[in-house]
Amino acid sequence: MQLRGRLREDKGGVGTLIAAVFIIMIIMTGYSLSLLTSNKNQEYYNTLREMSDLDYARSRENISIKDVRITTNLKLNVTAENDGPEWAIIKWIGLFDKTQYPERDTYTSVSYSLSPGELVKGMGSSVSVSWGKNYVVQLVTDKGNAIVQTFYPANSVKCKLELLALPSSVYIGNNITVLLIITHNQTQPDYIQNVTAKLTVNPPGSVKLLQGPQQISILGLKSGSSAFFKWIYNATQTGTIYFNASYVQAPQGTYTISQVVSKVSQTPGGGSQVTITGPSTITSGSLTSYTITALSQDGSGVPYTQITVVASNLNVNIQGVGGDLWVPKGAITLPPPPGVIGEAGATGQLAIQISLTAASGTTFTLYANCGTAYSSMTVTVR
């Protein structure tokens, strides 16, 4: 009996123990799964946070295309700036050829990193392009943002032209400055591939080109911006000069041509410019060279340029020695002052030599005139 009783008690204890173990195992299993669930949840929320950060960064990305050009080896040259607060990576460059039908698009894989505020030039050096096609250029970032700019040739854009000829009326021999402003005032395209200024003068021989624009072609003219061109001409004959401006491949129409008139007249008195160059001091008893540059406006040689020396009680010897339009008169010795020693017609230079014997500090005046224009120089003997 005792034995049975102990056995029953022992069995009851073991059963309780086993039940407790199973309950603990069930609880631990539940707890483990609860931990796993919690971890999985955490992973999910981490992913949501990461993607939310990505979306936020994407929304703050701000890339702008500053310039689009075609290089000499027919590659694309894009300048872009990161105006946003985030780093940006250009992952693809898309190029759409709108001149083809159906249009053709190509995407080239690239990798350009732009820090905030950074300007990167020369993007697209592996993208081949041709002149004269209507292109759309697209930069695609690794965050999926796309920046698009249109890039057309000049024949698709009606630019605004402004032409100035200054002064509007000049005397013969004066310079005329011609300014041409080509403004891309259309909303499309964003860039003109190439703008080459064109200026014609009528009658062609009425002016002589002294200086042309440093750059006759502007690459990548942006919408809203202007290109400036300057020419300097010298008026060589009287009459009305017409300047007509346009640009290469400009669409037909009067809006592409601007005409401006400059009137050239003869200077009253014939001469407009005469200058004397040479030393202001000479050595007594030795020959000293001077050059007189004269401009006679009527082109006929009349009136002549005259060289005169005004000197009192001095024996001044003046002789012409050359010059492209010199009419030799031979040497002349003054006094009596004043004296004419040479003549020149039209535009040209006169080379003269002067000698005199005088005390140091003696002065005399060299005087040259071309019609009513004159120039003088006071010379002192050393």
Interaction site with another protein (CB under 8 A): 22, 25-26, 29-30, 33, 36-37, 40-41, 43-44, 47-48, 50-51, 54-55, 58, 91-92, 94, 96, 101-103, 105, 107, 138, 140, 142-144, 146
CB of residue 264 to another protein, shortest distance in Å:
54
CB of residue 93 to another protein, shortest distance in Å:
11
Q: Give the Cβ contact number of residue 332 at 10 Å.
A: 16
Q: Which is nearer to another protein, 6 or 40 (CB)?
A: 40
Q: Which is nearer to another protein, 37 or 202 (CB)?
A: 37
CB of residue 143 to another protein, shortest distance in Å:
6
Q: With contact defined as beta carbons under 8 Å apart, do 315 and 334 qualify?
A: yes
Q: With contact defined as beta carbons under 8 Å apart, do 335 and 313 qualify?
A: yes
Q: Which two tokens stand for residue 57?
A: 């960064």
Q: Which is nearer to another protein, 74 or 146 (CB)?
A: 146
Range list of H helices, the chain: 2-60
Residue with token string 């010059």: 323
Q: Which is nearer to another protein, 40 or 121 (CB)?
A: 40
Q: φ and ψ at 24, to 5 degrees?
A: -65, -40
Considering only the C-alpha atoms of the chain, give the largest distance between any 2 of them, rounded to a whole number of Å. 175
Q: Which is nearer to another protein, 37 or 376 (CB)?
A: 37
Give the Cα separation of 360 and 30 in Å (integer): 124
Residues in Cβ contact with 125 at an 8 Å cutoff, skipping those fewer than 6 apart = 71, 75, 76, 77
Between vectors from CA 19 to CA 17 and to CA 23, what angle results, nearest 5°? 115
CB of residue 9 to another protein, shortest distance in Å:
24
CB of residue 84 to another protein, shortest distance in Å:
16
In what side-by-side order are the strands of the sheet with 363-370? 281-282, 373-381, 363-370, 305-310, 339-344, 326-327
Q: Which is nearer to another protein, 123 or 316 (CB)?
A: 123
CB of residue 127 to another protein, shortest distance in Å:
15
